[in-house]
Structure 1
Amino acid sequence: MFLGIDGGGTKTAFVLIDGSGRLLARHEATTSYYLEIGFDALRALLRDGVQAALSQAGLRAADLAHTFAGLPAHGEDSELLASFDTLLAGVVPRSTIGNDMVCSWAGSLAGADGISLVAGTGSIAYGEWQGRSARCGGWGEVFGDEGSAHWLAREVLALFSRMVDGRAEPGPLVDLVREHFDLKVDLDLCGEINGSAARSELAQLARLATAAANAGDAQARQLLVRAGDELALLAAGTARNLGLPAGTAVDVSYSGGVFASGELVLGPLQAALARRLPGAVLKRPRFGPEVGAALYAARLAGQPLSAEALGKLA
């Protein structure tokens, strides 16, 4: 039995599988971003989520061969590694804590060599190739996370401000933002956002870029084109960090809410990969990151799922 925990800026998913590819339990909780909720709340969230998954499956913690938790911001502050690594102490007998980028890679590529792009609340890329591993991005919302939902939300609000100021031609985005916040006065947006909007809540505004683009807003559509290009840069950086020779055929897959925009993001991403990482093959994800976390737990236990078991799980 293998338990995977896929953390994120918006939600945290718990998935329990066995070695034959049976899905035994699935549970979902809120954000596991420690900078937003703190370590005490994070520890309680993980404990409660593990117990919920075990209860669904009618199992005990002792039945688990291994648990892997991929959490946002893990590894990005050396002084906090010990705090992260003890989060599941006393909860499960055998566990490993890592960054949530691993969940996306293990799920989207089913543990095969290649590069995975994550564009959820934040953005990051991670890849493995012939025993080597590398990441790119994931610097946080203050000076990074390009192509992520939080980045898109910030760009949506900036574009709205330019449109209502007269610095940009108004488009459908204006009415969508006004309707979303029920604005009677445009400047009231400052009170809605400044100092009060949590990171995960602000990221939800990325959906307005998609809605506006579908309504014919060319400037909003361009934000999604830019997102695709930024994500292609992450893939290219990861390939460089992996030491891949130019032109190497490498599978690139993806996960995260930004990709719910479909071809509005995937089309520009495909085009940007052709420019920035020739040889890249964009592939639809085989599994989601929550299943990827469980698959990685099996790998850490020395019992990776067989091709037959992966087929059953699919």
Structure 2
Amino acid sequence: MYFQLMAQRIAVDGGQSGTRMRIDGLGEVDAGPIYTDRPLVGQLRGYLSTALADLSGPAEYELAVGISGLTPANSRPDELLAACRELGIVRVALAHDSVSAYLGSNGWNFGAVVAAGTGIVGLGVSADTVGRVDGWGYLFGDAGSAYWIGRAGIAAALRAFDGRAAATTLEALTVQHFGPLPELYVAVQSDPDRVSKVAAFAVVVAAAADDGDLVATQIIDDAADELAHTVCTAARNVAPRWPAPPRISWTGKVITGNDALRARFVERVRASIPDADVAAPLGSPLDGVARLFDAPQGHPLGREIALAAHR
């Protein structure tokens, strides 16, 4: 009860393209990306230190974090708490970003959510079970993500350049964004920000689809189908037979920012699970992060949230 009454709250949504923080007394702040091949604690502490430097006077904070790339091995809230103690952090809630994305879109309702940004992950939640689908990273998974779309667009451009596939406006667009195609693979592979830059190309692929490019349109359609398949699989994995219609939703700019992709996604979900309540997200992933401290007693998502506090 002490923390609820006295401590201010910081919510952090850490993703591969950028980090967003909501800090009591400061508002919302943007920071850099989370690199999943580097220690998470150091990155989070650095972003928090920079943000809190703008505030004057001592304060105590409870820190809620939903973060990309969180594995069971690196889910260590005690380590994060210790690293941030001098910043005034007295309590930590740490969860995979699939959990915070789910809470942002569905709240504590049962169903499934797919989060589609640079990467993707699906999460299904029933009354007693939580199950994750995909979220395997840009090397092995993330089907339908911005990275997946961007990579597919670049691959289509290279195939057209070789004469192995149909002509597409993506060829010229790839040159505009990445330079000469014979140099592209070396330049991109050596760029430390290659994941976010390839993911950013998804916007170009979507625009080409809107302009009628058939190759780009097929990529966007395939992405919608992959995302629908992921969220429906997540729903069925946790409850093959739902006692009530599951609430199925989404989050992330890949879906929210593309009307054509979203319409096809919704159509595919409704065809696959006809009795589902397919509904727009209740809020943002950052709203979901802010809910990490508020799990109802016995809710299965409570088991997915790691907590630590100074005694």
Figure out how many residues of one structure are paired with residues of the other and give that number: 286
Q: Are the equivalent residues in 2 in contact too, given 1:232–1:277 (CA < 8 A)? A: no
Determine the structure 2 residue equivalent to 1:142. 139
Q: TM-score, normalised by structure 1?
A: 0.81
Shift of 1:256: 1.4
Determine the structure 2 residue equivalent to 1:305. none
Cα gap change, 1:38 to 1:114, in 2 (>3 Å): closer
Shift of 1:301: 11
Q: TM-score, normalised by structure 2?
A: 0.82
Secondary structure in structure 2 of the residue aligned to 1:87: helix
User: Which amino acid in structure 2 is aligned with residue 270 of structure 1?
Assistant: V
Distance 2:153 2:38 in 1: 22
Cα gap change, 1:102 to 1:94, in 2 (>3 Å): same
Distance 1:220 1:47 in 2: 42
Cα gap change, 1:46 to 1:160, in 2 (>3 Å): same
In structure 2, stretches of 5+ residues that fail to align are: 1-7, 299-311
Q: Are the equivalent residues in 1 in contact too, given 2:123–2:235 (CA < 8 A)? A: no
- What is the 5 A alignment of 1:56-205? 60-62=58-60, 64=61, 66-75=62-71, 78-82=72-76, 85-89=78-82, 90=85, 91=87, 92-181=89-178, 183=179, 185-196=180-191, 197-205=193-201
Cα gap change, 1:4 to 1:297, in 2 (>3 Å): farther
Q: Are the equivalent residues in 2 in contact too, given 1:2–1:297 (CA < 8 A)? A: no
Shift of 1:127: 3.0
Shift of 1:16: 3.8
What do you get for the CA RMSD once the two structures are aligned? Answer: 2.7
Distance 1:210 1:200 in 2: 16
Distance 2:134 2:57 in 1: 38
Secondary structure in structure 2 of the residue aligned to 1:67: strand
Determine the structure 2 residue equivalent to 1:41. 43
Determine the structure 2 residue equivalent to 1:309. none
Deviation string 1:61-117 (CA, Å, 9 cap, x unpaired) is: 42x4x4220111112xx43334x6512321411111110111211111233222111
Q: Are the equivalent residues in 2 in contact too, given 1:252–1:281 (CA < 8 A)? A: yes
Distance 1:202 1:48 in 2: 27
Cα gap change, 1:286 to 1:59, in 2 (>3 Å): farther
Shift of 1:293: 0.6
User: Which amino acid in structure 2 is aligned with residue 189 of structure 1?
Assistant: L
Shift of 1:174: 2.0
Determine the structure 2 residue equivalent to 1:236. 232
Percent identical pairs in the alignment equals 28
In structure 1, stretches of 5+ residues that fail to align are: 18-22, 303-314
Cα gap change, 1:246 to 1:217, in 2 (>3 Å): farther
Determine the structure 2 residue equivalent to 1:27. 29
Cα gap change, 1:229 to 1:173, in 2 (>3 Å): same
Q: Are the equivalent residues in 1 in contact too, given 2:16–2:36 (CA < 8 A)? A: no
